Amino acid sequence: MRLVLCANPASGAGSAGPKQLAATLRAHGADVEERHIDELDGAGGTLARGADRLVVAGGDGSIGPAAAEAAAAAVPLAVVPVGTANDFARALGLPDDPDEACALAADLGAAIRPLDLADAGGQPFVNAASAGLAPVAAQAAKPLKGALGPLAYAVGALRAAVAARPLAVRVEVDGREVFDGRTWQLVVANTGAFGGGSQTGSADPGDGLLDVAVVPAGPRLGLARRALAMRAGRLAAQDDVVHARGAQVVVHGVDLELNVDGEIHDLDRPARFGVRARALGVVVPS
């Protein structure tokens, strides 16, 4: 099996570096071509074309560009989660141990699960794009990841809950206005996993639709209830949360900084989101 390995040496911690991961894949019988994660930008399928699989080793922010490359090259994507949150791996039930993930990537008998590929203003993503509290929390968590690991996201969320202000937005889903007002958090989801263990609880990454959850502004003390709901995967089920599904989402607002799969992006206004139904095949356990 010929694998193209794109590894992010800056992701996560520990000894699972690109060279060791390549050696582990070869130990499982694969022919491995090593490429840097930065080579995914604008590759348009040329990086993975002719391979049996594209393997991405990194955090959640590395998976979207790798997914776009795999989709363009029409090859399955295998994920070795070596980031801090690893929300995508958690959502799909992928091994969180690098050695086990390499074994799965090189397994000819592994299943291939078709998944949608989402887009935020030209930025591919697989989990979620969030505005409001999420970017503030991500910025607060960033310097803490090395010391706290996934716990950094909880600390960042707590700091955001204390300091952030509601965001004024207008949200359209497939041309229909679904929300116009102030929100604590807006999530446009594919798998719906984000924040090192949170989940909207309603997204299906294989239905060809984006899942939208909008948390209306309210008393700051009520954010504790929201946090518990996200951790339990019940956010979209809360009575006052606006929930909608659609193939096209447009968000109007002034301060639209977004957390897209753990990376902060400042998108054009209005922010536009789309999805390509079942554009991607992901290697998963049989």
Same domain, 57 and 165: no
Domain extent, residue 100, equals 2-109
Same domain, 129 and 102: no
Residue 168 located in a structural domain: yes
Give exposure, 222-247, as e/b (b: 16+ Cβ within 10 Å): ebeebbebbbebebbebeebbbbbbe
Q: Where residue 151 falls among pLDDT bands split at 50, 70, 90?
A: low
Which has the higher per-residue pLDDT, 236 or 141?
Answer: 236
> CB-based contacts of 42: which residues, under 8 Å, 6+ apart?
none
Q: Is the pLDDT of residue 161 over 60?
A: yes
Catalytic, out of 33, 39, 100, 263: 263
Same domain, 28 and 143: no
In this prediction, residues 92-105 reach a mean pLDDT of 96
Same domain, 222 and 166: yes
Residue at which a domain ends, from 109, 143, 178:
109
Same domain, 130 and 205: yes
> CB-based contacts of 72: which residues, under 8 Å, 6+ apart?
43, 44, 45, 48
- Between CA 154 and CA 274 the distance in angstroms is 29
Q: Where residue 162 falls among pLDDT bands split at 50, 70, 90?
A: low
What are the φ/ψ torsions at residue 212 (nearest 5 degrees)? -115, 130
Same domain, 87 and 136: no
Residue 115 located in a structural domain: no
Residue 159 located in a structural domain: yes
Residue 198 located in a structural domain: yes
**CA-CA distances (angstroms) from residue 46 to 39, 75, 144?**
10, 11, 36
- Minimal CA–CA distance to 247: which of 173, 191, 195? 173
Residue 118 located in a structural domain: no
Q: pLDDT tens digits, residue range 84-97?
A: 889 999 999 999 99
Same domain, 102 and 202: no
Same domain, 128 and 73: no
> What is the model's pLDDT at position 13?
44
Q: Where residue 30 falls among pLDDT bands split at 50, 70, 90?
A: very high
* CATH number of domain containing 152: 2.60.200.40
Same domain, 136 and 78: no
Q: Where residue 14 falls among pLDDT bands split at 50, 70, 90?
A: very low
Same domain, 72 and 128: no
Same domain, 145 and 63: no
Same domain, 260 and 207: yes
Q: pLDDT tens digits, residue range 184-242?
A: 999 999 999 988 888 999 999 999 999 999 999 988 888 888 888 888 899 999 989 99
Total of domains in the chain: 2
Residue 286 located in a structural domain: no
Residue 28 located in a structural domain: yes
* CATH number of domain containing 47: 3.40.50.10330
Q: pLDDT tens digits, residue range 110-122?
A: 999 999 999 999 9
202 and 238 in contact (C-beta within 8 Å)?
A: no
Residue 284 located in a structural domain: no
Residue at which a domain ends, from 80, 109, 138:
109
Q: pLDDT tens digits, residue range 47-74?
A: 999 999 999 999 999 999 999 999 999 9
DSSP H or E stretch at residue 99: helix 98-105
Q: What is the pTM of this model?
A: 0.90
Q: How much of the chain, in percent, has pLDDT values that exceed 70?
A: 88
Is there a catalytic annotation at residue 172? Answer: no
Residue at which a domain ends, from 75, 109, 143:
109
Q: Is the pLDDT of residue 21 over 90?
A: yes
